[in-house]
Amino acid sequence: MDDMAQSLQPKERVCSTGYMELSCRLCTKLSYRNATEMINLFQHRDAGETVKLRTLSDSVERVGEQISARLEEMTQKVLKMYGFDSETGRPMEGVCLSASITAPAIPEKTEADIQAVDIIIDSANASRDEKIPFTAEELDMEVSPLECVYVSIDDVGVKHQKDSRSQGTEKNAKYVENTVIHIQYGQNTYALTACGMKNAMKAMLAFLVFNGLLQNRLVFFTDGARNIKSSIEEMFPFHPYTVILDWYHLKKKCQELLSMAVKGKDMRNKTLEKLLRILWVGDVKTR
């Protein structure tokens, strides 16, 4: 109680757990202004007892900071517990990770799998003039979802709003970058968010190792951003993984590059059509 009282601003009251849960939930769905209006409306507060916008935003942001600090503390504890450096996320010197983490048992494609796919390719080629230019042997077979952990990573930038701005001043928008990571294993999903790619990657590593998920293949879905690619490479040099570029950004990037390399819309589209067939099966090398 003393710690809570010391963290309060002048004229700010100690609020019940129910009120804080309500205000935090409202502020995740509405703007601070609309959330303040809803709280005052449903609590039937008199004019002199209304919740002020700044008071609400300060209290909710304080809760967010406490949650972030607790998550950071738990991340560091888990990483140290399993032999990882809490600052870098890399295995500590002298620590020998188990083979189930560094070389998880991932089933290879069988002869039966190859034959089944070849039959499908032959059937498709029989009804088309332009044949599929590859065989099942050249393709990577999709692993069962129960043997994979799917991870989607992206940066979300929001404008940093100032408390006040003098009229006539030049607008110089600054952004706050939050990294969002979505993890899926089977039917179970979990979302992580942190300020900055490095913190988010460490939290993800702690989550994966604590829940025993590093015994599976990791499949990352990204938009091709270089900072995401480099962060994955730095964090998981000890574990096999696959990076899949999302189709929208991959196709968009190819269109942009072909527009610079090929003259004429018709020639560009014709080249793009052939190229996309190759890209669709995952034959992509990123740099």
Does the pLDDT at position 10 exceed 90? no
CATH class of 142-160+176-245: alpha beta
Note whether 180 and 204 are within 8 A (CB).
no
Task: Write the secondary structure of the chain as one string of H (helix), E (strand) and C (coil).
Answer: CHHHHHHCCCCCCCCCHHHHHHHHHHHHHCCHHHHHHHHHHHCCCCHHHCCCHHHHHHHHHHHHHHHHHHHHHHHHHHHHHCCECCCCCCECCCCCCCHHHHCCCCCCCCHHHHHHHHHHHHHHHCCCCCCCCCCHHHCCCCCCHHHEEEEEEEEEEEECCCCCCCCCCCCCCCEEEEEEEEEEECCEEEEEEEECHHHHHHHHHHHHHHCCHHHCEEEEEECCCHHHHHHHHHHCCCCCEEEEECHHHHHHHHHHHHHHHCCCHHHHHHHHHHHHHHHHCCCCCCC
Mean pLDDT of 162-174: 62
CA 255 – CA 268 distance, rounded (Å): 8
Does the pLDDT at position 77 exceed 60? yes
Mean pLDDT of 260-276: 85
Query: Is the pTM value of this prediction over 0.85?
Result: no
Domain borders along the chain are 2-81, 142-160+176-245, 247-287
Residue with the bigger pLDDT between 58 and 132: it is: 58
* pLDDT given at position 172: 64
Quickly state the pLDDT bin for 276 (edges 50, 70, 90): confident
Does the pLDDT at position 97 exceed 70? yes
* pLDDT given at position 129: 79
Rounded to 10°, the helix 197-210/226-235 angle is 40
Alpha-carbon torsion angle 14, 16, 17, 20, nearest 10: -70
Does the pLDDT at position 15 exceed 80? no
CA 276 – CA 279 distance, rounded (Å): 5
Q: What are the φ/ψ torsions at residue 188 (nearest 5 degrees)?
A: -95, 135
Mean pLDDT of 216-229: 90
* pLDDT given at position 264: 83
Return all residues near 182 (Cβ < 8 A) that are at least 6 apart.
151, 152, 189, 190, 191, 192
